[in-house]
Structure 1
């Protein structure tokens, strides 16, 4: 019997082997720190504020820690295209850059999985 177990390919970063998914997460984090948040420091400060953290926790609890789009798919009898309860994002329906005053408005916030968040974000 062969005890071989398939593992995803790894890449070397700083003399350390990591998966491609980990490498992408590190690259995204570095991008956010070095590019995105330096461009808009008001937005970066907002996402670090206690008001945002409390509101985010409230929205996650309100939406039962589930992607609302995945739940709509399941209720319609379809298979959810995203992942439920993993990498959830509290998303602004109307972007901060468009209307800063709605940044803490509960009606402007929704819980999305990474799949549905990316579909919404890159559809624009």
Structure 2
């Protein structure tokens, strides 16, 4: 038996847990909103949670410190990667990579989690 104190069970500041009823309500809303987008010819679109920090470039609060303002880490090649802090920068990267094969106009819609390493305002979560 160890005498080490048991860690306190707590969610990180700014993050929230979501229960079944909240997830069901969100799913219902997103289903209705998605149907409207699709009625007008938009397609669902999603990107990975991580982007290379150098691709975020001027969108980073401080390009010399790529982990400032975002949740960042280095991969095995020591390149900085950051959790997406919005859905625009990943879209721009995707379009730059695949623009020749995209239909014109490229109509997409996206819903997704974003992560910002900043102090959350009142009633806001990370």
TM-score category of the 2 structures, normalised to the smaller one:
0.3 to 0.5
Which one has more relative contact order, counting CA pairs under 8 Å at least 6 apart?
A: 2
**Structure 2 length-normalised TM:** 0.35
